[in-house]
């Protein structure tokens, strides 16, 4: 998996590309999230639009990322869930835990009250 990082206003957007699976991306995401929280960059959007596959370890890492960011006083939101990931989030009822967006501008604006 690859992670491309960019900032839009005070929001960090992480574009995840490839497979988020055990041993292929889960530790990369964990390290990136911890690094951002340690830098006091706590408004984070995970753009999942270019993820081709997510296994249970990858899904677990997305949940752990939410926990890490929340404990650090921040907020994590999801962007561009493809049908497979959307279905997975609905089946596991995680869709009720995350704020999800289909439009990057809306996701960034959603932080306005918190920034």
Average of per-residue pLDDT across 44-56: 94
In the sheet that holds 75-79, the strands lie side by side as: 2-8, 11-20, 43-54, 75-79, 100-101
CA distance 50 to 82: 8
CATH classification code of 2-105: 3.30.750.24
Q: What is the domain partition of the chain in residue ranges?
A: 2-105
Q: pLDDT tens digit string along 58-113?
A: 999 999 999 999 999 999 999 999 999 999 999 999 999 999 999 999 999 999 86
């Amino acid at each position: 998996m690859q992670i491309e990082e960019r900032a839009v206003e005070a929001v960090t957007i992480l574009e995840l590309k490839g497979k988020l699976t055990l041993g292929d991306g889960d530790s990369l995401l964990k390290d990136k999230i911890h690094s951002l929280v340690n830098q006091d960059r706590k408004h984070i959007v995970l753009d999942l639009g270019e993820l081709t596959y997510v296994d249970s370890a990858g899904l677990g890492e997305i949940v752990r990322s939410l926990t890490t960011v929340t404990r650090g006083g921040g907020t994590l939101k999801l962007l561009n869930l493809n049908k497979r990931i959307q279905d997975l989030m609905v089946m596991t009822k995680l869709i009720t835990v995350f704020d999800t967006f289909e439009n990057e501008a809306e996701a960034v604006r959603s932080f306005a009250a918190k920034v």
